[in-house]
Amino acid sequence: MKSVVIGASGYTGAELLRILAFHPDIEVILAAASSHAGQPISELFPSLFPHYGDMVFSDADRLINDLEDGIEHADIAFLALPHGVSQAIVPRLYDKVGLIVDLSADFRLRDPEAYPIWYKAAHASPFYLKKAVYGLPELTRSQLKGARLIAVAGCYVTCSTLPLFPLLSAGLIERDSIIIDAASGVSGAGRSLKSSYLFSEVDENYSVYGLKNHRHTPEIEQNLGSKVLFTPHLLPTNRGILATTYSRPTTKFQRAIAAVSDPEMFGSDLILSELAKSYREESFVFATASPPSIKATLGSNNALVFGTYDQRTNTVITVSALDNLVKGASGQAVQCANIALGLPETTGLGLLGLYP
């Protein structure tokens, strides 16, 4: 199958190109980026030269405006664009390609009224918002099969949802007690030049941003069906997300541990066994016996989840990690595309991370 990557000069676009180079069933016939139109891909990303050779970036603006140059030959369109752009493109692309995979937040939220609140603008294509399938395979696999438009889940959202969703589903934690502290590498902010992302600002630093109003909050709440207090932080690393969550155990949980000699150990085992049971059939999500680190997921499409119980404060704690550019974005996009196209879910995706 032939694909186009629109917005290919950003970090997620580059990661898509890298992953698709290993995909046996999807060929990239066009990579578009307005700011680098006409420039060889390997000049901007030398690491991609062995596969893409002298292939140059097409003009994304021209491609979007006339939807002719290359689009008519494509089966799949991957959109790795800034928020707000895909809303205008998807309606014009929908009948030209068989599958659209959007990596932005433009079609993630089911309620169009949430966009003016969190993204400060009304949604431009509410009709297509209804057609979009949310792209988090571990939650929405059945809906993804045969999908035409996929809204790939956000990076923070994926890292936060994966450990919490099974515990909520099992009735082990209170629905409206959740606090999420998460930290991401700088690539999560995109490739744009902003003073807060300069080396001298980020190196040897650790900072909070989006306090009380980060745009991923409603997406997390949509997945979990509960209010959360979500606080993101910026790590002085290139890649990776680590999310630590805190929640209150339910009456059901407390009854289960009440009669045992070591409630903390039993409660911790109960939390971890629920995570292991929930993901034992999954190819990319693994419950770990100890808290994971971001380096353990580097370059892979894996997410690692861990959970424990602290008796002293009566708190359930989870820790999860993933690579924000792979399972948090481009790898997840390919995983979703594989499901939609009826391919084996792991096709083209690395199962092992890089170390050191």
Report the chain (356 residues): mean pLDDT per 10 consecutive residues: 95 97 97 92 96 93 70 91 93 93 98 96 96 98 98 98 98 96 89 75 90 96 97 96 98 96 97 98 98 97 98 98 98 98 96 88
115 and 9, same domain (yes or no) = yes
Report the alpha-carbon distance of residue 281 to residue 138 in Å, rounded. 10
The torsion angles phi and psi of 94, rounded to 5 degrees, stand at -55, -40
Token pair, residue 222, equals 């949509």
- Global pTM reads 0.96
The catalytic residues are 155
Report the alpha-carbon distance of residue 128 to residue 347 in Å, rounded. 28
Domain span holding position 74: 2-131
DSSP state of 293: -
The kind and range of the H/E element at 99 are strand 99-102
299 and 252, same domain (yes or no) = yes
Query: 53: domain CATH number?
Result: 3.40.50.720
Residue 107 lies in a domain: yes
Residue 341 lies in a domain: no
Task: Say what the pLDDT of residue 68 is.
Answer: 59
182 and 314, same domain (yes or no) = yes
- The alpha helices in the chain, defined as continuous H runs, are 11-20, 41-44, 49-52, 60-66, 86-93, 114-118, 126-129, 137-144, 155-169, 199-202, 217-224, 251-258, 263-279, 331-341
Q: Sign of dihedral through CA atoms 98, 342, 2, 188?
A: positive
